[in-house]
Amino acid sequence: MIVDIRQLQSATNDILQICPRFRLLVIGKTGVGKSSLIQQAFGINEVHVSEHRRGEADIDKEFIAPENQRFVLHDSQGFEAGDSDCFITAKDFIDRRRKMPDLRDKIHAVWLCLSIPHADGRLLESGVEEFLKLRKEILGDIPIIVVFTKHDVFVDKLELDAMDSDEYEEAALEVLKNDTLSKLCIQPLKEIAGTDILHTIVSTKKECESTIIQLIDLTTTNVEKFVASEAALTMMIAQRVDIGLKVKASIAIGKKRCWRGISSSMNFIGFTMLDCLSVIHKDVIDVWNFNDPHCVRHVCFHNTGC
């Protein structure tokens, strides 16, 4: 079989032309920990979200970090009591994005960030409750994940209280953590939003990286199911915490026409093995999405055969 030059082009090109960046809307009030979450999940040094003063967030602004060009963030304040403007702004923004014809311009997922409350704290403001009740009408098929943040703070307080009461037993404490979390977060959420609401718990402490991986995996799975496979693949490329997803994306892209053609011993007339391997090299580099501002990894294969 004779193969023309089109079959030697990078398989990632087609995906990234359709969806060059994963577009995420993050909703959460000041101090909930949005910046730390985004930094860890997408390997970004600095995130400009409204963590300091109310009124700062511009939901239409696209934040694209120079060290991760495959991710674009939209930031919204939380929907606090007595402030309907943020709710209306977010609702209108989502509606406009849903009507855009191209996948690249649509919102691919929403993270609603809520800090785990103290024992006497309120989990959901009235605006958040309304948003959750109307989420299917507002979002359509866009997946929304409720992210309970600052799990490490919650755990530390429970452990400290247990030690102060001289009733510190590991097994009993673990049960207490789960029961308290269910009472403060899971049950109130399901009462308002129903049992089918997606949710997870995160901590941005380095030793709790598995919680971020769970969030990434949950997001990717539902984007692939409800939005588009191209958006899910771009999410796998954009995230920088789950190596398993990078491998999965490499395999998925590896099934595209170029790799499939090479493995079936096509006759690439006019192309050397180095030409073929260079295409594979580009696909691998694109999927792993290294911070490579000078494109050193893209060119080294051609220059040195690495």
Taking only the tens of pLDDT, the chain with its 306 residues reads 444 444 556 678 888 999 999 999 999 988 899 999 999 999 998 886 654 445 456 899 999 999 999 999 999 988 876 668 889 999 999 999 999 999 999 999 999 999 998 767 778 888 999 999 999 999 999 999 999 998 888 888 887 877 766 666 777 788 888 898 999 999 999 999 999 999 999 998 888 899 999 999 999 999 999 999 999 999 999 999 999 999 888 888 777 655 455 554 455 566 666 666 666 667 777 778 876 655 555 554 445 444
Q: How many CB atoms lie within 10 A of CB 224?
A: 18
* Domain 13-241, CATH: 3.40.50.300
Element (H, E) at 260: helix 257-263
Residue ranges of the domains in the chain?
5-11+249-304, 13-241
Tokens at residue 231, please?
């958006």
The reported pLDDT for the residue numbered 3 is 41
pTM value? Answer: 0.85
Laid out side by side, the sheet with 109-115 consists of: 71-76, 22-27, 109-115, 144-149, 198-201
- Using CA of residue 293, residue 11, residue 269, residue 274, what is the dihedral sign? positive
Q: Considering only CA atoms, which of 271, 234, 237, 289 is closest in space to residue 9?
A: 271
User: How far apart, in whole angstroms, are the C-alpha atoms of residue 279 and residue 24?
Assistant: 29
pLDDT in tens, 269-281: 666 666 666 666 6
Which residues in 106-122 are b (16+ Cβ under 10 Å) and which e? bbbbbbbbbbbbeeeee
Tokens at residue 252, please?
């998925």
